[in-house]
Structure 1
Amino acid sequence: MNRVTKIAAVSAALLLTLAAGGAATADTDWAGRGPREAAALTGTAKLYRPAGDDITFGFDAHLAAKDNMDPEAATGTFRFSHYKGDWGGYAVAKVDCLVTGGKVAVVTGVVTETDVDAFRGKRVGVSVHDLGKHDRLGYSWIGKDTEAKLPKCMGSAPFEKVKAGTGDFQVLPWQLDYPTE
């Protein structure tokens, strides 16, 4: 076999191997370790506030592939804090629902750790719009009626802008399995 034929044969075999491997791993995670998560929201950002408030949100929320049709089976935590001078506080919530669509996510959770009594044991919801360097965020406790109980999987529109250079939210879109007839 001449050299050109050998190179062509090896190249074709390599391409076929890569194509077959890619098809076999299309439904696996990025490292090929198993099924792709059904949905996820991760990352941290500070909100933009011209008055100097230090407001930070961080997420580590996941919906396993095996729970694809049950967003209330999501796991993880999210954290938020708001400080200005000597005033402020933080809270950590245990995720109880995660829904994503495209680059938008809504996560709810019950506050399990905080130094703000008003948040202790309360369900809170946060929405995120993953826009690269211009992420947006919304939260459920804005408004007058803060005593109302928030249902799982509910949040407000992402009305806040993140501070330039701080947004690194990553939303993994949910892929529903619809029944076929």
Structure 2
Amino acid sequence: MPGPSRPRTAALVAALLLAPGATPATAAPLPGPVAREAAALTGSAKLYRSAGDDITFAFDARLAAEDRADPTRATGTFAFSHEAPRVHGSAEGRVDCLLTGGKVAVVSGVITRADRDLAGAVGTRVGMTVHDRAGGDRLGYSWALTGTPTARAGNLPRCVSSAPFERVAEGTGDFVVVPWRPTA
């Protein structure tokens, strides 16, 4: 049995295109470039400590595409905690700066809530650095030499931290760094 003739096929296609709701104006748009954040740092990890201290950090920091020229317009949150025989405390904060380059991110923010040993840190700016590495993430923080976020004179500038010297505990680092592209 022969197939449909060309005139019948053309008529069928024309009828489908002219059917209600099938006009080119209502067709689904073709996918285009997706706007991405200018920079981001997300994820959490537990630090490795041979003494068994339970130290965790978590981040959800983002710099919107329209703010790519100003890292101080970053938004989001961070949290950290330290539980050990002589240290007990946790803190949360609001992000106020995010700079990323390759797989390294520096984020700073002001502590908005803290408990126990960190209660005096509310209102203090802190900085943290993350290196998102395939072989194990690394992390650093602005109070590395002082031992506590409140043990320094003056206010820390935005986006200042230490090198990511701490190793994360095996199986815990899920940090994701979106590299900053300052120009579109």
TM bin, normalised by shorter chain, reads: 0.7 to 0.9
- 1:93 is aligned to 93
- 2:169 is aligned to 163
The SS at the match of 1:157 is: coil
Q: Deviations over 1:121-180 (max 9, x none)?
A: 1000000000034100000012246233210011110010000100000000001217xx
Deviates more, 1:109-118 or 1:62-71: 109-118
- 1:119 matched to 2:121? The reply is yes
Deviates more, 1:129-138 or 1:95-104: 129-138
- 2:156 is aligned to 150
- Contact 1:133-1:167 within 8 A present in 2 as well: no
How far 1:38 moved relative to its partner? 0.3
- 1:60 is aligned to 60
Instruction: State the alpha-carbon separation in 1 of the partners of residues 167 and 103 from structure 2.
Output: 15
Residue 44 of structure 1 aligns with an amino acid whose one-letter code is: S
How far 1:87 moved relative to its partner? 3.5
- 1:176 is aligned to 182
- Contact 1:132-1:168 within 8 A present in 2 as well: no
Q: Tell me which structure has the larger Cα radius of gyration.
A: 2
Instruction: State the alpha-carbon separation in 2 of the partners of residues 103 and 129 from structure 1.
Output: 6
- 2:136 is aligned to 134
Instruction: State the alpha-carbon separation in 2 of the partners of residues 140 and 65 from structure 1.
Output: 27
Instruction: State the alpha-carbon separation in 2 of the partners of residues 137 and 113 from structure 1.
Output: 21
Instruction: State the alpha-carbon separation in 2 of the partners of residues 141 and 83 from structure 1.
Output: 17
How many residues are aligned here? 149
Question: What TM-score results when the alignment is normalised by the length of structure 1?
Answer: 0.78
Question: What TM-score results when the alignment is normalised by the length of structure 2?
Answer: 0.77
Residue 64 of structure 2 aligns with an amino acid whose one-letter code is: A
- 1:75 matched to 2:63? The reply is no
How far 1:112 moved relative to its partner? 0.2
Instruction: State the alpha-carbon separation in 2 of the partners of residues 91 and 147 from structure 1.
Output: 20
Gaps spanning 5+ residues in structure 2: where? 1-29
RMSD: 1.6
